[in-house]
Amino acid sequence: MIRTIDEAQRLLAGGSTPEELLERAAARQAELEAGDPALNAFLSTIDEYTPQESGPQADGELEGVPYAVKDNICTLDLPTTCGSLILQGYRSPYRATAVARLEAAGARLFGKTNCDEFAMGSSTENSAFGASRNPYDRDRVPGGSSGGSAAAVAAGVVPFALGSETGGSVRQPASFCGLVGLKPSYGRVSRYGLVAFASSLDQIGILTRGVRDAGRVLEIIAGADPRDATCQDRPAPRASALDGVQLDGQVIGVPNEYLGLGLDAGVRAAFDASLAQLEAAGAQIREVSLPSTPAAIPCYYVIAPAEASSNLARYDGVRYGLRDTSSSGLEDLYSRTRARGFGAEVKRRIMLGTFALSAGYFDEFYGRAQLVRQAIVRDFDRVFESEVDALFTPTTPTTAFRLGEKIADPYDMYLSDVYTVSANLAGLPAVSVPIGNIGSLPIGAQFMAPRFGEETLLGLALRLEELTGYACPELQETAA
């Protein structure tokens, strides 16, 4: 197992080669796949470890450290399928900016992780290549859509992985798998090479065991990119700044709307305990109100599918990817290729999004949701301007649920994003941290901070991590 970046660097300093670290990751991966059921965290892995030439950046910040990338982020070395049949075997002829920056820092790609198809889902059950499992309980989901990345880091294959967030797809699996899951501010990390689900919400996120590692990776991948017009020109948050953030004097808000909504009693108890620890360490806790919260899920499930319906129009069988060859003409080719290539949830969202944008329904759904989104932004602006430095809430209403438990009821599945979607709608940075467990299952809580407030955000998360002492339970290996 390689649990942290420090651990990997200690091995390298002790004489291990980067290739040996990749082999170690492969061995761990093989062990997990041999389990019954298999973890199914990866869709593809590097199987030949050719030593890389030591370039000018041989002393890169992450030289030789293996990592994993969610399969909706473009890499040159392995396929990028987005967990979809429509891109089965697709190899991107270019790589994402975030991946290029990690490679420039010396990190070594080990594999591409499983995810819900086009990142649409909260359990990784919507992958065309089979569900991933939660390493803490293989009957349960690892969360989603970055479930493969969460499972891979939680099980100790790699010390960190990139995921992506549109409505909680990094924080929710982090919470289910006992990890730190960071969603940076919208515009913090380039989306170039992140296969779009909902462009106004998408952001590459980071899954690690500890807060410091998340900060280190963020510092490398953050910052302006001439290839993404929404990526903002701001200095990257410094990992070294986290120690300067003290709890004493911080005002931490708890939005009362987040403490109903199907919140599990065990999760609530763990959350209250963390809150008490924060207060005891000097933070001032204040109850606040975000009155638009009840509309966040509907708002999200109008805007995200609407954008998705357009973003996924390019998978038409013309230029790349799957093509149905039984078609008699082009229209037939489009409809059959897309019917065959997309899974049920993707189709459902394309239908929902197309409907929300269509003539006669646009104002009622898409137009209205845009206004509600502004109301949500306004709620956050108000509390951050006048009341609090950060917000603290549970990440998810429950711990990891069982495979198949929610797949039959789409809206029930959508509700598992209830605490996370608002940060995406408002473009805020948010981070989920492990705060305890119910039985073998981890519990997470999240901080949200003002836009581009990652240094404060991660500083607070680091203090909480110290208070709870890495609160994720020890991994109990299920029978292999």
Partner 1 sequence: MTIVDPHTVRHVARLARLSLDESEVERLGAEMSSILDYFAALEEVDVPQQTGPTPRSLDPVLREDVESAERLALPVESLAPDARDGLIVVPRLEALGGKNGDS
Partner 2 sequence: MTAGTPGADGWEAVIGIEVHVQLRTSTKMFCGCLAEYGAPPNTRVCPVCLGLPGALPVPNEQAVRLGVRAALALGCSVHATSRFDRKNYFYPDLPKGYQITQFDWPLATSGSVRIRTGEEERVVGVRRLHLEEDAGKSQHDRFDGCTAVDLNRAGVPLAEIVTEPDLRSPAEARAYLTRLKQLLEHFAAVSDCNMEEGSLRADANLSVRRVGSTGLGTKTEVKNLNSFAHVEKALSFEFARQVAVVEAGDDVRHETRLFDPVAGETRPMRGKEEATDYRYFPEPDLPLLAIDEAVIEEERESLPELPDQLEARFQSQYGFSEYDARLLSTSPARASYFESVAERTGAKLAKSAANMIMGDLAAELNRRGVNSAEEQLIPPEALARIVTMRSEGVLSSDTASEALRLMFGEEAGQDPDDVIARHGLAQVQDDTQLSAWISEVVEAHPDETARYRGGEEKLIGFFMGAVMRASGGRADPRRTRDALRGHLAAETET
Active-site annotation, residues: 70, 145, 169
Q: Is the peptide bond before 37 cis (omega within 30 degrees of 0)?
A: yes
Backbone angles phi, psi at 137, to 5 degrees: -165, 105
Cβ contacts of 27-36, under 8 Å, gap ≥ 24: 28/1, 28/2, 28/155, 28/156, 28/157, 29/110, 29/111, 29/152, 29/157, 31/480, 32/135, 32/155, 32/157, 34/480, 35/138, 35/478, 35/479, 35/480, 36/479, 36/480
> Distance between CA atoms of 351 and 247, rounded to whole angstroms?
46
- Tell me the closest approach of the beta carbon of residue 233 to partner 1, in angstroms: 7
> Distance between CA atoms of 384 and 390, rounded to whole angstroms?
7
Helices 344-357/296-311 angle, 10° precision? 100
Backbone angles phi, psi at 360, to 5 degrees: 100, -25
DSSP characters over 360-371:
TTTIIIIIHHHH
CB nearer partner 2, residue 85 or residue 261: 85
CB nearer partner 1, residue 48 or residue 331: 331
> Distance between CA atoms of 228 and 322, rounded to whole angstroms?
27
> Distance between CA atoms of 185 and 425, rounded to whole angstroms?
11
CB nearer partner 2, residue 314 or residue 402: 314
CB nearer partner 1, residue 355 or residue 470: 355
Q: Is 89 in the site for partner 1 (CB under 8 A)?
A: no
Binders of partner 1: how many residues, by CB under 8 A?
72
Site for partner 1 in 118-177 (CB under 8 A): none
Per CB under 8 A, the segment of 7-15, 47-55, 357-365, 431-439 that binds partner 1 is 357-365
Which pairing describes strands 284-288 and 251-255: parallel, antiparallel, or unpaired?
parallel
- Tell me the closest approach of the beta carbon of residue 166 to partner 2, in angstroms: 11
Identify the CA nearest to 163 among candidates 93, 116, 228.
116
- Tell me the closest approach of the beta carbon of residue 289 to partner 1, in angstroms: 13
Q: Which residues contact 177 (CB under 8 A, 6 or more apart)?
A: 134, 135, 136, 142, 143, 150, 151, 153, 154, 400, 442
Q: Is 361 in the site for partner 1 (CB under 8 A)?
A: yes
Q: Choose the one of partner 2, partner 1, none that binds residue 366, judging by a C-beta under 5 to 8 angstroms depending on kind.
A: partner 2
Binding region for partner 2 (CB under 8 A): 73-74, 80, 82, 87, 90, 92-94, 96, 191-196, 198-200, 226-230, 306-307, 309-310, 312-314, 316, 318-320, 330, 334, 354, 357-359, 362, 366
Helix, strand, or coil (residue 41): coil
Per CB under 8 A, the segment of 10-18, 149-157, 214-222, 359-367 that binds partner 1 is 359-367
- Tell me the closest approach of the beta carbon of residue 72 to partner 2, in angstroms: 8
Q: Is 85 in the site for partner 1 (CB under 8 A)?
A: no
Q: Choose the one of partner 2, partner 1, none that binds residue 198, judging by a C-beta under 5 to 8 angstroms depending on kind.
A: partner 2
Choose which of 352, 433, 445, 461 interacts with partner 1 (CB under 8 A). 352
Q: Is 289 in the site for partner 1 (CB under 8 A)?
A: no
Per CB under 8 A, the segment of 149-157, 262-270, 293-301, 470-478 that binds partner 1 is 293-301
> Distance between CA atoms of 188 and 223, rounded to whole angstroms?
6
Q: Choose the one of partner 1, partner 2, none that binds residue 368, judging by a C-beta under 5 to 8 angstroms depending on kind.
A: partner 1
- Tell me the closest approach of the beta carbon of residue 57 to partner 1, in angstroms: 19
Choose which of 30, 58, 358, 439 interacts with partner 1 (CB under 8 A). 358
> Distance between CA atoms of 478 and 254, rounded to whole angstroms?
37
Q: Choose the one of partner 2, partner 1, none that binds residue 193, judging by a C-beta under 5 to 8 angstroms depending on kind.
A: partner 2
Q: Choose the one of partner 1, partner 2, none that binds residue 91, judging by a C-beta under 5 to 8 angstroms depending on kind.
A: partner 1
DSSP characters over 163-216:
EEESSSTTHHHHHHTT-EEEEPPTTTB--TTBPPSSTTT-EEEEEESSHHHHHH
* Numbers of helices and strands, H then E, in the chain: 14, 11
Choose which of 55, 282, 294, 404 interacts with partner 1 (CB under 8 A). 294
- Tell me the closest approach of the beta carbon of residue 4 to partner 1, in angstroms: 33
- Tell me the closest approach of the beta carbon of residue 80 to partner 2, in angstroms: 7
Q: Choose the one of partner 2, partner 1, none that binds residue 470, judging by a C-beta under 5 to 8 angstroms depending on kind.
A: none
- Tell me the closest approach of the beta carbon of residue 89 to partner 2, in angstroms: 13
